[in-house]
Structure 1
Amino acid sequence: MNLIARKYKTKLVCLNMVGIMLLTCIQCISVFAQQSALIKYVQPFSGTSASTTMASQHIEDKTERLANTIPAVAPPFSMTQWTPQTQLTETKCLAPYYYNNKKIYGFRATHWISGSCTQDYGSFTIMPISGKLKTNTTDYAEDYNHENEVSTPSYYKLNLNRYKLQVELTATLRCGVTRITALKIDSVYVLISPNSDKEKGYIHIDEAKGEISGYNPVHRIYQGWGETAGFSGYFFIRIKKAIKISGVYSDGNIANNHTISNKKNIGAYAGFKLEKGEQVIIYSGTSFTSIDAAKQNLESEIQNETFDSVLSKTNAAWEKSLSQIKITDPNEKKKRIFYTALYHAQQHPRLFNDVNGTYPQYAGNYQTQKLSKGNYYDDFSMWDIYRAQLPLVELLRPDLANSFANSLVLKGKQGGWLPIFPCWNSYTAAMIGDHATAFLASAYNKGIRDYDVKEAYRLMRQNAFEMPDSVDYLNGKGRRGINSYLKYGYIPMEDSIPNAFHKKEQVSRTLEYAYDDYALATIAKDLGKTKDYEKLSKRSLHYKNVFDTKVGMVRGRYENGNWYNPFYPNHREPYITEGTPRQYTFYVPHDMPGLMKLMGGSKVLENELDSLFGKKEYWHGNEPGHQIPFLYNFTASPWKTQLQVNRILNEEYDEGAGGLSGNDDAGQMSAWYVFAAIGFYPVDPVSGNYQLTSPAFQQTQISFSNGNKLNIKAVKNTKNAIYIKRISLNGKSYNVNHVSHKDLIKGGEIIFYLTDKPKISL
């Protein structure tokens, strides 16, 4: 039913026009007045369209040209992000928003893993329209343009021209506020749609109370694809405006009741009659445990706060987070790229518990658990983020890293096995390696230990030494190919790893398990587990078993010891993960002296690195290569690290919607930029050491949670100086190519004296 808007006299219309213009002006002034010194640098659209970076011209995998980020509105590491929706469905590898899409379908409360190729889950969408009621997406979708968009980490605004509506979003950790302003007198409808692709879900509208509630069941992918994940995305909505008319619908057909479930494209609508300038405020609570919990989250985090009040708090949260690293430099473009990267590096892992500590049991069947302290997190894109994104959290927010570590231990206790790649609160066995172990060891060695360390060690050891039974293994538990690895000291070509999303990739798995064994060995040593330490230390050298000294690279190998033929060093091979034998050869971050010896010495390593970069075979989108530019620090030519890192910073990253050259992978690509730009990178996060390079900025100040501050200065002899001539640490000469985590967090001052000519050792 359409609501008939009244006609007004010309004079009153003019007065209303003045009023709405004044209101809109005041709101815009309010929003931009709250933008702080650093949040204004963030470009949330970065990575939402195909890459336009210099590097995108020679990306190996053209599917990687989409970074798959979204313009997310929410505080750092929140439960739910809010984004404009230009893409329907929760289909794998389709983000909710792409910059170049022409239609908008609403504003989504999303659980999309930023920069990923997974799937959204448990989401719902709010879409306001005016005029005649329409519930079919093809009918109500709005053409839009970017001139009407404003986007920051805490705020999004869009004018819907056809409907003459202005929509604004802001959010808290678990909740969102949507403000809809009518730009003309009209009937206005708000459509609420659970976004289930499985024709599941539920929604109910209570017109008298102005409340809408529902849920969208979550399903697994990878292991157990299509099965229930044992929880749903729940929502509770309170509308601050009397509803005049309401109902539910399915696949464009309106139903004469106020509840609907388990049908295609279900939703509910609420209708209003608005004067020009009138507003509808929609408060939305979210949860992974129940509708009641979503309501409790809303009442706790927002209550009846105004839109502007919530916005102010979220602005402050982002400013506090971004200002942990303060950049001083005249290059405004580089600051925009840097703070956008820092924003992207703080999207995940995802907060999963309600305000009262309740969260869905890991790999459970709609069972819940409750924390006594701290928070529970999920969506660990572990193969990607253990390298730099999680170490960045360890550096800046050790308290948060501790919650991450505790969350992983809780998952292991509840599910029976430490997960490999825990997303949507389920076992997945996606990607390769056992890098929850690498992260736990990295955190432990940095003194982050406020959780059950003994249980953590038991779970890590179980992964390293035991094979799950067939049911658990098929469900995604344990290391893929562990029996072969233990028997041969490598995973032979005969073991095709059939029960995994990534099959085969035997050499890459061997290399990464060797690193994880090294990681666990460091904890075993500290805990006095001498026998485990000795076994794991030997196993950490298993990378040597897949290194063919005749070709000087890693290579597929059979059970009898013979090498896989033919050998193509620069081709994508079935025994390598997302790369080539040449690229993966450099993945021995824990034993560079051993790798150099296998290669034939430091000079050979340098020559091989020169060859990789000279042939343009370095692939920044392949995470196991992220440490490669810093490996020149282990040779006589560390200046080449400075050269290559500077080049990558300039070629792989840019501003604008195409500013990322590949999948951001839950912030790993962005975290690489943050580290590299400030002058150091965790080649081996477990060691607690960072390899040094020349900083990209004149001055950087890092504020640590212990109260200490570190000032990093770059003193250049010319404008284009990028090579390190000498370094001083707290006034004393510093003559090594790395710095420890322990020394960094003491604070002080590091000065890099840079020159435009490299310091070449003969």
Structure 2
Amino acid sequence: MPISVSSNQHKNNFKWEIILLLLVLQLIALPNPGFGQQASLVKYIQPFSGTSASTTMASQHIEDKTERLANTIPAVAPPFAMTQWTPQTQLSETKCLAPYYYSNKKIYGFRATHWISGSCTQDYGSFTIMPISGKLKTKWIDIADNYSHAQEVSSPDYYKVTLPNHQLITEITATLRSSMMRITALKSDSVYLLISPNSDQNKGFIKIDQEKGEISGYNPVHRIYQGWGQAAGFSGYFYIRIQKSFHVSGSYAAGKTTNQPSVANKKDIGVFAGFKLQKGAQLIITSGTSFTSIAAAKLNLEKEIGAASFNATRAKTKAAWEESLAQVKIADNDERRKTIFYTAMYHAQQHPRLFNDIDGSYPQFAGDYQIKKITKGNYYDDFSMWDIYRAQLPLVELLQPKLANSFANSLIIKGTQGGWLPIFPCWNSYTAAMIGDHSTAFLAAAYNKGIRDYDVNEAYRLMRQNAFEMPDSADYLNGKGRRGINSYLKYGYIPMEDSIPNAFHKKEQVSRTLEYAYDDYALSTIAKDLGKVNDYKELHKRSLNYKNVFDPKVGMVRGKYINGEWYSPYLPDHREAYITEGTPRQYTFYVPHDMPGLISIMGGKKALENELDSIFTKKEYWHGNEPGHQIPFLYNYTSAPWKTQKQVSKILAEEYGEGAGGLSGNDDAGQMSAWYVFAALGLYPVDPVSGVYQVTSPLFNQATISFKTGKNLTIKTIRTTKNSIYISKMLFNGKILRQNQITHQDLINGGNMTFYLQEKPGSK
């Protein structure tokens, strides 16, 4: 049913759409000093990157085939949106199955998804719309359609595909919480829209109102990892409006149809709306989403899209991406590298996920369908914290400090509402997924960079509680607190006898010890600044606990028993139960906060250099997973920083590509992509808490970073030859930069960095 809009309102809407389109065109066409005419940057984004099994060199080293899937999707939505829209080539909300894979041959519809980009988790609270033609059918096997990539168009603001059997063209655009779909008939026929909540639990509800042209429903969310299968305390709600009257409607379950307008809590439920369309006729479907109620989903739709046209909505979302991407402008003749770079920026801006409605309402963290309202900033969730504290969140801190502040405040809200600062908050719940306590690492990094517009004292209380206290048994089983904290506090490391039974990742004692030592260091920096002298001394002492699992006889970390004996046999290049997703050799280099201390126990800078040489010579460096992402930059702590320049240049060239297999492993909510963004700019936050970036040779001839303060930093690269990758000299604001590092404050103060590169290492 068409939306009822007055003639004057139509004129006003049309006028504002024209103004918006003109503004977007002006934004795209504006000249930029030093760059000439700046073309659209969105055109460089390749959303299919990472939607197929990795074809990079690093992926061939992976033993677990699931780790070869970057598990990204061609998501349509603005940056950090509540809901992304994607074609669906996989059914269900099953763990480790992304909604879309490039190699799949059929489309089962178009999903409003809450998939965590680049992860091996599961979707939740989603729903799917599938247009079909001909006779009404509701079984997935009957309605799925073949499709061709030649008939696919994908960008962050728009997706289009032709369904050949149904002879329908589907186009999608989206806002932060809402979307528009445009269906065009390529022949005169009966056309049906099938809308289904996607519950693997056979739960959910959906209703169709033929008179009003509305559909609404919800899909209850269930936890995974800690509390697997339990209700998460909220649902994914949706409200859909169809801007054309339909002549027939009903519901279905398990392939059987009925004329009843609603259905709930059965297998494969959904509703259908039927139309008679002439060739060239179009259907416009608008959808709103929410995590609080159907009414909120409707309000989100009305406020974000209202009566706007498809093209105007798309233009608004494209403008949002252009503005975001334009914070880093590249001047370089290599178009392929620009594509990889801006695609990486796209992937690094999918999560954390916006969780509140347009009026500020959101589901209480770890609550039971209780609603709260945020009055300042926004509330976010889906923090893949073990991954993103390394580079993805630091990239947000650098480019969008106000957004980073909302992330920090969201974590504090979760801790206050749930009683404990969460370790890995996803599905708006405690999970105890992965290891470490890196909400603390992120909060400390933000604090040390001056991002502090939240309750600092409450933040400190929550972080300190995680670091010093053991939750009661019920809270611990629910995923609260550090895993193995009692052992860690008692022995200064987690011994082999503690198998960490109440965690998704069990054991991994050495990796946990190393990462808790880093988190203790992170918290110590805030304790020192706040004048918490005793806490600072204790935490600083504990930050050296990494030494307790370092075996000087083998020169690496190793599993250790309570009596001080080492685990045998020692296999440094094998996956061991006491190491997280890696090997002892790989994890030995995880001491980002105390490289001088690691160098000392290794036997000096040359010993560190030799061990770094060894990991690359043996091809044991694994770029497809996070624990080693800092390793190539550690040569900066030796007398051979040119080896950082060599290895980083090699990784940039070989481990990222344009195609569907262009990511080395799970993108993990943008961490893999953020690594590329930093490294291509010649920077990397080995220790994000310190606010210091290690420097390497930049990839591009010139890059200009625009900070939210209004200041700019231009990074210029001057090569003696095309193949020059080694730094002979660095200048920062006209002065020679003698150290291989630079501070966060220096960067955001703006100015000019100039790198002089040559083909061979050493000075000119």
When normalised by structure 1's length, the TM-score is 0.95
The answer to whether 1:690 aligns with 2:693 is: yes
- 1:297 equivalenced with 2:311 (yes/no): no
8 Å contact from structure 2 (residues 80, 352) kept in 1: yes
Amino acid at match of 1:575: Y
Please give the secondary structure, in 1, of the residue aligned with 2:497: coil
Which residue is 1:532 aligned to? 535
CA distance in 1, matches of 2:489, 2:518: 14
Aligned to 2:580: 577
Counterpart Cα distance in 2 of 1:484 and 1:403:
34
The residue number in structure 2 matching 1:377 is 380
Q: Tell me the residue number matched to 1:345.
A: 348
In the other structure, the counterpart of 1:420 is 423
Kindly indicate whether the alpha-carbon contact (under 8 Å) linking 2:625 and 2:665 is maintained by their aligned counterparts in 1: no
What corresponds to 1:192 in structure 2?
195
**Equivalent position amino acid for 1:262 in 2:** N
User: Which letter maps to 2:439?
Assistant: A
1:257 and 2:260 matched = yes
Gaps of 5+ in 1: 1-30
Partner of 1:656: 659
Deviations 1:113-172 (A, max 9, x none): 000000000000000001111111000110111011000011000011111111000000
Contact 2:58 2:622 in 1 (8 A): no
Report the Cα offset of residue 494 of structure 1: 0.3
2:446 alignment partner, one of 439, 443, 447: 443
SS at match of 1:669: helix
Cα deviations by residue, 1:356-412 (Å, 9 ceiling, x for unpaired): 000000000000110111100000000000000000000000000000000000000
Does structure 2 retain, via aligned residues, the 8 Å contact 1:155–1:168? yes
Candidates 596, 608, 611, aligned match of 2:611: 608
Q: By how many angstroms is 1:62 displaced?
A: 2.8
Residue aligning to 1:148:
151
Decide which of 183, 186, 202 is 1:183's aligned counterpart: 186
Q: Which residue of 1 aligns with 2:728?
A: 725
Among 671, 675, 696, the alignment partner of 1:672 is 675
Could you tell me which amino acid in structure 2 is paired with residue 469 of structure 1? D
Q: How does 1:213-224 map to 2 (within 5 A)?
A: 213-224=216-227
Aligned to 1:403: 406
DSSP-derived class of the 2:686 partner: coil
Pairwise CA RMSD of aligned residues? 1.3
1:590 corresponds to 2:586: no
1:714 aligned residue: 717
Matches within 5 A, 1:84-95: 84-95=87-98
Note if 1:486 corresponds to 2:489: yes
Question: In the alignment, what sits opposite 1:554?
Answer: 557
Q: Residues 642-677 of structure 1, C-alpha deviation per residue, up to 9 Å, x if partnerless?
A: 000001111110111111111100000000000000
- Aligned-partner residue type, residue 505 of structure 1: E
Q: CA deviation at 1:64?
A: 1.4
Q: Which amino acid aligns with 2:249?
A: S
1:139 aligns with 2:142: yes
Question: What is the SS of the residue equivalent to 1:372?
Answer: coil
Report the 3-state secondary structure (helix = DSSP H, G, I; strand = E; otherwise coil) of the residue aligned with 2:232.
strand
Q: 2:448·2:691 contact (CA, 8 Å) conserved in 1?
A: yes
1:266-277 aligned within 5 A:
266-277=269-280
Give the alignment partner of residue 740 of structure 1, picking from 740, 743, 751.
743
- Aligned residue in 2 for 1:101: 104
State the match for 1:14 in structure 2. none
Preserved CA contact (<8 Å) 2:249 2:274: yes
Pair 1:244 & 2:247 matched: yes
> How far off its partner does 1:547 sit?
0.4
Question: Is residue 34–residue 315 contact of structure 1 (8 Å, CA) maintained in 2?
Answer: no
Between the aligned partners of 1:363 and 1:302, the Cα distance in structure 2 is 31
CA contact (8 A) 1:42 1:337 kept: yes
Closer, same or farther in 2 for the Cα pair 1:347/1:661, shift >3 Å?
Answer: same
Any idea what the Cα deviations from partners look like across 1:203-247, whole Å, max 9, x if unmatched?
000001000000000000011000000000000001101111110
Report the equivalent of 1:701. 704
SS of 1:620's partner is coil
Which AA in structure 1 matches 2:103?
Answer: N
- Correspondent of 1:206 among 206, 209, 218: 209
Percentage of pairs with the same residue = 75
2:347/2:670 contact within 8 Å kept: yes
Deviation at 1:435, TM superposition (A): 0.1
In structure 1, C-alpha distance between the alignment counterparts of 2:659 and 2:41, rounded to whole Å: 17
d(CA) in 2 for partners of 1:182 and 1:193?
A: 22
Q: Partners in 2 of 1:742 and 1:652 — Cα distance?
A: 31
Q: Residue 256 of structure 1: CA displacement?
A: 2.2
What is aligned with 2:289? 286
User: For residues 550 and 193 of structure 1, what CA distance do their matches in structure 2 show?
Assistant: 60
Counterpart position of 1:359: 362
| d(CA) in 1 for partners of 2:590, 2:557 | 10
Q: Is the aligned partner of 1:114 residue 2:155?
A: no
CA distance in 1, matches of 2:624, 2:577: 18
How big is the shift at 1:32? 12
Distance change in 2, residues 1:316/1:491 (3 Å): same
What residue in structure 2 maps to residue 128 of structure 1? 131
Correspondent of 2:324 among 317, 321, 325: 321
Instruction: Give SS of 1:496's match.
Output: coil
C-alpha distance in 2 between matches for 1:53 and 1:605: 27
Provide the C-alpha distance between the structure 2 equivalents of 1:571 and 1:54, rounded to a whole number of angstroms.
19
3-state secondary structure, aligned to 1:682: strand
User: Residue in 1 aligned with 2:166?
Assistant: 163
Q: Which residue number in structure 1 is paired with residue 463 of structure 2?
A: 460
Partner-residue secondary structure (3-state), 2:225: coil
Q: Is residue 47 of structure 1 aligned with residue 56 of structure 2?
A: no
- Which whole-Å CA distance do the structure 1 matches of 2:763 and 2:598 have between them? 23
Does structure 2 retain, via aligned residues, the 8 Å contact 1:34–1:312? no
The amino acid across from 1:439 in the alignment is F
Q: Is the 8 A contact 1:639 1:760 kept in 2?
A: no
Deviation of 1:592 after TM superposition, in Å, equals: 0.1
- Post-superposition Cα deviations, 1:722-760, rounded to whole Å, max 9, x if no partner, equal 000000111111111000000000110000000001018
Partners of 1:666 and 1:723 lie apart in 2 by 31
How much does 1:509 deviate?
Answer: 0.1
Kept in 2, the 8 Å contact 1:43–1:152? The answer is: yes
Q: Contact 2:236–2:291 at 8 Å: present in 1 too? A: yes
**Contact 2:331/2:700 (CA < 8 Å) preserved in 1?**
yes
Deviation at 1:301, TM superposition (A): 0.5
Q: Which runs of 5+ in 2 are unaligned?
A: 1-23, 29-38
In the TM superposition, residue 277 of structure 1 has moved relative to its aligned partner by 1.2
Contact 1:60 1:619 in 2 (8 A): no
Equivalences, count: 732
Q: Which of residues 68, 72, 76 is equivalent to 2:71? A: 68
1:622 CA displacement: 2.5
Tell me the distance in 1 between the aligned counterparts of 2:583 and 2:202.
42
Question: Match for 1:202: what amino acid?
Answer: F
